[in-house]
Structure formats: C-alpha cells, structure tokens
Structure 1
Amino acid sequence: MRKLVMAAALALPMFGVPAMAQETVKIAYIDPLSGGGASIGEIGLKTFQFIAEELNAKGGLLGKKVEIVAFDNKTNPQESLIQAQKAIDAGIRILTQGNGSSVAGALTDFVSKYNERNPGKEVLYFNYAAVDPVLTNEKCNFWHFRWDANSDIKMEALTNYMKGTPSIKKLYLINQDYSFGESVRSAAKKMLAAKRPDIEIVGNELHPLLKITDFAPYIAKIKASGADSVITGNWGQDFALLLKAAADAGLKVNWYTYYAGGTGGPTAVKQANLNNQVFQISEGFANIDHPSSMAFEKALRAKYDFSLFYPRAVNQMRMLAAATEKAKSLEPVKIAAALEGMEFDVFNGGKGMMRKDDHQFFQPMYIATLGDLTKKEPFDEEKTGWGWKGIAKIETAQTMLPTTCKMERPK
C-alpha cells in the first residue's frame, strides 16, 4: 500500500502539469526588446498584450485565457531561432513576429523543418509585419500566415498614387540593406518605369540596418541630387533619425513611406516641418471614420502613451479566435486549415481575406498624409498636434497581386 501511495504521489505532478498548461493558450512574441529595434518591439508587445486582454474579456480561445510571452530576438535571425526553440520547449505552439524580413525568412524555414520532424507537435508562425514578397512566394509554407500587405502590394498602391502626381520629377531611393529594403527599391524602380518613365531616379542607396546614428551624409547626398521626392521603407530609428537629419539640413522634399507612423516618426516629421509632405501606405490609421476602431484607439491610448501602429495585429488575433471557433480546436494544423480562405471584417472596416494559395492576407489599404489636424480629426500622433489624414483608399480587390507559391500541405 505504501508503494502504491508513493507511486500515486509521484504521478500527480506528471498529470498536473499538462492540466495547468491547458488553462492558458500561450503565444510567443519574438521581436526586439533590446538594441536598435527595442522601441518598436516594446510597443508591439504591449499592443499584443492589449489585444489579448480584449480576447480574454470575451472568453479567450475556446474558453482558455490568452497569454503573450515575450522573447527578445535583438532583430537577429540566429537569435530568433534560439528564442523560437525556447518557446517550443516551453510548450508554446503559436509564434508571432514582425520586425525584419531577414528574421522572418529564418523563422519560416525553422518552423517548416521543425514541423516535418515533429508530426503531431506542430507550431504555427503568424507574421504581422515582415513584408518581403519572397515569404509568400518562393518561401511560402503551410505553417506561415502573413497579415501585413507585402512590400510589392504596398509599392503598387504608392506608385499608382504617384503616377497621378505630375510634380514628381526627380526621385531618390534610400532603404535598409537587407531583403526588405532591396525589395522596396527594386519594386519602386520596376513599377515607376512602367507607370511614370519620365521620373528620373537620381539616387538609389542602401544603408546598414539599425546601425546608423547620424544620417547627415545621406541627407547631403539627397540634397545634392536635386530630388523633389524620396521613397523609403525605413522603419524604427532608421526612419526617425533620417527625418531628424533632414530637419537639421533644411531638406524640404516629399517623402513616400511605409512606416512613417512608427515610434519617433511623427515627431521627426513635425520637427522637419513637413506638413502634409510625408505620405504612408498602410492598412489603416487612427482617424478613419469607423466607430469600433476609433473606440479601440481611444481605449489603447488611455492605457498606453502610443497609438495603434498595427491594425493588422488586431486582425491577426481576432482571426485566430475565429479560426479556433471554426475548427473547435487549438491544434495548429486545424487552426491553419480554418484560416485558409477565411473572409473577415477587418479592424478599420471592409472585407479582408486570407488567400489559400499563399497565406497572404488581403485587405483595404490607405494612403495618408501627416499634418495639422482639423476639428474633425480627433487623434494626433506623439502629441505633435499633427495627425493622419486619408487621401486615397485602395479596395481589397485592387490589392491582389499574383503569387508563385506552390503550397505543400500536410497529409
């Protein structure tokens, strides 16, 4: 009897741990929390935690609480793989990441190989911001889903707007030196050559990612080139410091951007006095007249001292909830199957769709400009008194570009 009691006591922790683990659904947030990308990573983490609180207030995922667990990857691909393995070792089966397509490329390969070797223990990779087109083309795989528009989709929208702007005569390209920056500049050259061959590209430069502290030499080149407009995919401190240098040099050109709304960006725009001269392509912004997204924005700003940079993150998490309900399961393979082809009412209004062919999400896109607010626009950015104002909307159907993905699905 004594031996039976001891055996039962030893067995209790073995049965107890899985039962406790089932009380929460943990999602690994793998992004920079130190180094040059830390300010962006911290805001992303708090945003995901805020969205998790929203889901938990509505019952979580199939009645289980959602918990966001942070893993610092220092914007480094190799470190990201170490952190991904730590997350998996801790029993986490959903990973999310966004900052850096070089990181995303490493993660999607890692997840695909891990799942091949560990049937029945698969993990999902949810990409909320890494936009290199290769991720849903040559590198596409069943376990990767992207909620941000890829850089080609964004450039298609930007150049469609720019082709109707006759004042653009001379254009400078400046981007970060990695796969995303390369995709921005190559798409810009190709699309403008087709749509506005009269525009002269007077500079085409790549610089190290998140390592430049003084962009004055780069701004001097832009100034000397005679450019009237700049296209940049720079994000984080690489955008804010670029604009700071422009302000110091008195450079007054129009900026066509992907991420001017990121941390420090609006402040730099205001300091450069570029009123309605900085344009951003995105899936949404604070001042879209849509009651539910405005209510969310107001609640987020009441808790944190920043705006919603990632409407796509809200779409991602809400679609995860919808997929678990549809699948009646928390198993990654069933969630993935439920997400394929899913149509969804997106955060800022309108219809979105997760394309089954390549797991690229499509949604309405907006071009907005940052400048002095009117009374109709309630939200400013970074307490500058300047906010985003929409100047063009691209409907979902007009954002769809073809894919070369050849998806292999699990049997």
Structure 2
Amino acid sequence: MAARLAGGTALAMLGLAGLAGAAAAEPLKVGIIEPMSGPDAATGELYVTAARYGLEEINRAGGFNGEPIEILLYDNGGTAAGTVDKFKQAVADGVRVIFQGSSSAAAGQLTADVRKHNLRNPDSRLLYINDGGAALDLTGDKCHFYHFRFQAPAPMLVGPLVEAMSEAGELGTKVYSINQNYSWGRDMETAIRERAGDGGYEVVEATLHDVAKIQDFAPYVARIKAAEPDTVLTGNWSNDLLLLMKATGEAGLDVRFGTAFLDQPGNIANAGETALGHYLASTYNLAAGDEAFPEDYKARTGHYPVYLEPRVVIAARAFGKALEAVDFGGGAIDVTPIALALEGVTLETAMGPVTIRKEDHQAVMPIVVSRVEKGAPYPVDGTDMGFAPVRTIPGPEAVYPVQESCEMQRPG
C-alpha cells in the first residue's frame, strides 16, 4: 500500500511538473536601448515608439515561443558610457535581442559589447538589430554574425541623392559639405567627395563640427553663404540639423540642401519656406506607399509614422518574419537559429523588397529621393509643405559593395 501511495504521489508530482513546464515557456525578452533623456531624447522616443509598434504587431499575431514578447526599455542618455551600463542591465534582465539605432557611436559600443558577450557566453548569445546606426565600420571591421543593420549608410544615400538632383538639374557645380565630426559624419563627407566626379561638382568647402554641442549655427551659415555653393549636402541629424535649419531659415539662406534626415520633425518648420526645393534621401516615403500602414500607425501611436519610424518598423517586421520560421517548442531560446532565419528573409514593402546580404548582414533596402514641395501628401510640422517622391532606387542598385574589412565568423 505504502509503495502504491508513494508511486501515486510521484506520478502526481511528475504530472504537476509537466504542467508547470508546459505553462512556463521561455518568453523572448527584447530590450530597446535608446536616449530617452538628454539632447537626443526626441529622436530616441521615435525609435522607441516605432520598435514597440513593430514588436507589438508580433504579439498581436500570437507572440513567440508560446508567450508574448517582453519589451524592456533602457535609457542610455545618448552616450556610449550610458550604452555600456544599459547593456549590462539588459543582460542581467535576461534580454536576448536588442534593438538600437539612434547613434552610430552608441551602435559601435553596443555591437562590440554583443560580440564580446557572445564569445564569452556561447550558451546565452544575444542578437543585435541595428535599426539606425549607419557608420560604415559597423558592417566593415566591426561586422559579426549577430549584428544586422536596417539602415542605409552614407554611400547608399549620397549616391541616389546626387543622381536624382543631377538628373533634375538642381545639383549645380559647387557643393558645400557640412557634417558631424564622428564616424557617420566622416562617412558622409567621404561619400560626398567620392561622388563629385559622377555628379559633376566641386566640393568648395567641407566642415566637420562637434556633435550635439553647438547651440547657434549662424556662424556656419555665414561660412556657407561666403562659399557661394549651389547645394549643401549634409548628413546632420537631431539637434544639429534642427538648429542648422533654424539658422538657415533666420538668415534667409537661398541655397538648396540635399540631406539624409530632413524629414525629422521640426526641420521644415525651422527652415520655413527656405526649405522648398530641398532634397531628402531615405528608406521610406509615406506618399509612395499604401495608406494602411500610416493609418494603423496613427491609430495606435497618435501620429503618422515620420522620419526614422517606418524603417524601424521594417526592421521589426523582418525580425518577426524570421521568428515565424523558428520553433523552440516552448523551450529554451537560442538566437542563432533566429539569426540564420533572418538572413533568409525577404520582406515586401511599399517601396520594394528588403533582403539581408549574408556576407555582412546589411539590409538591402530601396532608397527614395524626395523633394520638399507645397501640397505634397502628408504635410509635416503643421505646414503646407511635405516630401514629394522624385525617384525610388531599388535596393540592389543602391547598396554599396561588401567591405574587405568584414571577416564574419559564422557559427560552427
């Protein structure tokens, strides 16, 4: 009798353990590391909003591994040091996938931290979805298997921008280059110089300035005016572009700009009507796509997707499509199969297909060149101006060659 009771108790305990195991599927924890304080907080909040929207789409479709994805937010203050601290916190919290993109400097720190962690902890590797860091070295000497970039670096933006402006007869023969003095800005200056021959222009002056430290761009506008360029090409973003546009508007500077981030909220308002005729090269334009996405985005977030937000949603949707190809049966999560699935994703977008180049994990994305016009669809900043699409360049035509410095070690 005692043996039967003991056996019955053991079977009951095994049954309870089985039920507990079935109910305790490992949730996928995704960390979003962005500046939610400091000078770049407005940009960081857009990244957070878009990443959450895309990840919540996955949850509305059923989540992953039997559980909703857990979304954790980390404020890095926009600094590399803050990124180090928040990365450590994310690891301690059990995060397995990180979304980040608001700074190439932070991206450089984060991708190095992910690489080191994965080498030291092969049983709990992390996956880094870079949805904004555009420095070329991230897919060059810093490339690694667990980093995927969903952003166009300088050559992918400058080439289409110069080509479209030249074809429209609005580039001219004298170009002024102004950029932030760090990896992304230096990449932009190099790309601007390298395209001079194809674009038929001379770089009359090139300026690199401190990042997020200049409060008044009037002296830089005066230098631009003195150089008498036909066009200013810039990769500036966040406050450094907002304040540059403010200074050009106040000075009434009659020079056409070719930009990478002019669609950032506030730029058109700051520039006023001097922005008319300015150009933008980006990875998305709402006016060139369907209406379902922007309307749903507005319904869920309170505003139409702007600036970087469509690109971040593309990154999240590509990630979600990769998850559909992986099944851990509720068990332990391994990001290596997810990364392998992500390599094979083709995501259809309104701009055209987005794929991943396996050699360096650069997303091959269409580039849309737009011009600021009155009466354009989706006017911005409470003005009657918006971004009218001029030309869309398919991803394979826009993408730059794989860099020789990328020596990706694939998992064995």
TM more than 0.5: yes
Match of 1:100 among 92, 100, 103: 103
CA offset at residue 301 of structure 1?
2.4
**Offset of residue 122 of structure 1:** 0.2
1:240 aligns with 2:242: yes
After the TM superposition, which residues 41-80 of structure 1 pair with which residues of structure 2 at under 5 Å, given as runs?
A: 41-80=44-83
Cα pair 1:307 1:381 within 8 Å, conserved: no
Q: CA deviation at 1:178?
A: 0.6
Q: 2:136 aligns with which of 130, 133, 157?
A: 133
Partner of 1:4: none
- Which 5+ residue runs of structure 2 have no aligned equivalent? 1-17
| Pair 1:380-2:396 in alignment | no
d(CA) in 2 for partners of 1:360, 1:81: 24
Aligned: 1:408 with 2:409: yes
TM-superposed CA distance for 1:17, in Å, is 11
Give the match for residue 6 of structure 1. none
With over 3 angstroms needed to count, the CA separation of the structure-2 counterparts of 1:20 and 1:169, relative to structure 1, is: farther
Superposed CA offset, 1:190-236 (max 9, x none): 121x3134x22222111111111111111111111111210110111
The question of whether the paired residues in 1 share the 8 Å contact of 2:246 and 2:267 is answered with: no
Partners of 1:233 and 1:339 lie apart in 2 by 29
Distance change in 2, residues 1:231/1:314 (3 Å): same
User: C-alpha displacement at 1:183, in angstroms?
Assistant: 0.3
Alignment of 1:9-408 (within 5 A): 22=25, 24-167=27-170, 168-192=172-196, 194-197=197-200, 199-269=201-271, 271-275=272-276, 277-290=277-290, 294-302=291-299, 303-309=301-307, 310-329=309-328, 330-346=333-349, 348-373=350-375, 377=377, 379-404=378-403, 405-408=406-409
Larger radius of gyration: 2
Distance 2:47 2:206 in 1: 30
C-alpha displacement at 1:355, in angstroms? 0.8
The one-letter amino acid of 1:286's match is: L
Say which SS state the counterpart of residue 45 (structure 2) adopts.
helix
- C-alpha separation between the residues in 2 aligned to 1:370 and 1:22? 50
Partner AA of 1:409 in structure 2: R
Which whole-Å deviations, capped at 9, do the CAs of 1:214-272 have from their partners, x for residues lacking one? 11111111111111210110111111110000011110111100001113123223x24
User: Larger relative contact order (C-alpha < 8 A, sep ≥ 6)?
Assistant: 2
Question: Relative to structure 1, is the Cα distance of residues 248 and 102 closer, same or farther in structure 2, using a 3 angstrom cutoff?
Answer: same
Tell me, in whole angstroms, the C-alpha distance in 1 between the residues paired with 2:181 and 2:227. 21
Length, aligned pairs only: 387
Work out the CA distance in 2 between the residues paired with 1:166 and 1:21: 62
How much is the aligned-residue C-alpha RMSD, in angstroms? 2.2
TM-score scaled to structure 1, two decimals? 0.89
SS at match of 2:369: strand
Identical amino acids, percent of aligned pairs = 32
Give, in whole Å, the separation in 2 of the partners of 1:394 and 1:264: 27
Conserved in 1, the CA contact under 8 Å of 2:179 and 2:236? yes
- Structure 1 residue 385: deviation in Å? 2.2
Once the 2 structures are TM-superposed, how far is the Cα of residue 58 of structure 1 from its aligned partner? 1.4
What is the CA deviation profile of residues 292-341 of structure 1, one whole-angstrom value per residue up to 9, with x for unaligned ones?
xx222122224324533322212211121221221224421110111113
Give, in angstroms, the shift of residue 23 of structure 1.
Answer: 6.3
